[in-house]
Amino acid sequence: MSAKILEGRWVREQILAELRPRIEKLTTSHRQPGLAVILVGHDPASEIYVRNKIKTCGELGIYSEKITPSDTISTEDLLGIIEGLNQRKEIDGILVQSPLPKQVDKRRILLGMQPDKDVDGFHPLNVGSLVADMPAPRACTPAGIMELLRRYEIPITGKHAVVVGRSDIVGKPMALLLLHRSATVTICHSKTSNLAAESRRADILVAAIGRPAFLTREFIQPGATVIDVGQNRGPDGKGLVGDVDAEAAKELAGAYTPVPGGVGPLTIAMLMANTVRAAEQHLCCG
């Protein structure tokens, strides 16, 4: 029996459809939700990501604004832009596209943003709320994965989840979200001893290590749910390859996310959800 394919596009369309009436209600009673995206320099991949975010805003009826400072900008000048956006009531969410140039202090930029406008969910106050399981913006990719698991009715409670990767963007928040759903969670990384054996214990395996097809068949427990977060360039420099060997996932997993088309479409959907939620909070609480 072949593995069930978990389609991120299907989940994305559900999320966006549920957001539309909320956006319409906000627009009718108050104003459009507003998202500002700061793109520093001309990184080709970042330009594509930002273009897709702005396009999705337009399709949903979210006001968006793209700010494109030079890649020579200083930390102080970028902080000045962010402070201006903090003060603007029509802007509910601020997103600073990564990566930033080397001369920019990423930590100071993150701290310079109002936590209630941090729609990426990376501000330390929002991370603290995640740890305490309190309402706050959640990191978009892990939040999208939780939506995927929920909508495909993948059991989490009591299951053993293994997260391969410890980044602040995916690995750590993913582990916490699974923990809050009563999974038993192991976090692994490049320095983990016997990584394959640890991964093979997983009922739910989340691969976010950033190495193309790194998790081969010896990493996968037969019947496991495999969530592949990897977005790596293929061997020929074209196309996308996940962190999991695709053939191994098809043969061994009970369910898996393909690359492309699995986790990828969920990130922007959850960014939109965070922006709408921020707008609702701003309307409610000023």
User: Average per-residue pLDDT in the chain?
Assistant: 95
The pLDDT of residue 1 is 59
Q: Which residues are catalytic?
A: 53, 97, 120
What does DSSP say about strands 4-5 and 34-38: parallel, antiparallel, or unpaired? Answer: unpaired
Domain 31-114's class?
alpha beta
Query: Can you give the length of the chain in residues?
Result: 286
The pLDDT of residue 284 is 84
Q: Are 237 and 265 in contact (CB under 8 A)?
A: no
Give the residue among 277, 273, 282 at the shortest CA–CA distance from 89.
Answer: 282
| Helices and strands, counts by H and E, the chain | 10, 11
- Report pLDDT digits (tens) over 40-70: 988 888 899 999 999 999 999 999 999 999 9
The pLDDT of residue 68 is 96
Question: How many other C-beta atoms can be found within 10 angstroms of the C-beta atom of residue 173?
Answer: 26
Distance, in Å, from the CA atom of 193 to the CA atom of 182, rounded to the nearest integer, reads 25
Give 121-144 as a DSSP string. Answer: S-SHHHHHHHHTT-SS---HHHHH
Residue type, 78: L
Distance, in Å, from the CA atom of 130 to the CA atom of 235, rounded to the nearest integer, reads 37
Sign of CA dihedral 174, 176, 181, 182: positive
> Which has the higher per-residue pLDDT, 151 or 2?
151
Question: How many other C-beta atoms can be found within 10 angstroms of the C-beta atom of residue 183?
Answer: 23
Distance, in Å, from the CA atom of 253 to the CA atom of 206, rounded to the nearest integer, reads 12
Mean pLDDT within 182-205: 97
The pLDDT of residue 148 is 98
Q: With 80 as the cut, is the pLDDT of residue 2 above it?
A: no
Mean pLDDT within 14-35: 97
Mean pLDDT within 150-174: 97
* Residue range(s) in the chain whose domain bears CATH number 3.40.50.10860: 31-114
Q: Given its phi and psi angles, is residue 223 left (phi above 0), alpha (psi -120 to 50 degrees) or beta? A: left
- Report pLDDT digits (tens) over 97-141: 999 999 999 999 999 999 999 999 999 999 999 999 999 999 999
- Report pLDDT digits (tens) over 245-283: 999 999 999 999 999 999 999 999 999 999 999 999 999
Helix 124-131 and helix 171-180, axial crossing angle in degrees, nearest 10:
30
Of the chain, the percentage scoring pLDDT greater than 90 comes to 91
- Could you give the 3-state DSSP secondary structure of residue 42? coil
The pLDDT of residue 141 is 97
Arch. (CATH architecture) of 140-265: 3-Layer(aba) Sandwich (3.40)
Q: Work out the burial of residue 45: count CB atoms within 10 Å of its CB; fewer than 13 is exposed, 13-18 middle, 19 or more buried.
A: exposed
Containing 7, the helix (H) or strand (E) segment is: none
Residue with tokens 């009922």: 203
CA angle 206, 208, 210 (to 5 degrees): 150
* Residue range(s) in the chain whose domain bears CATH number 3.40.50.720: 140-265
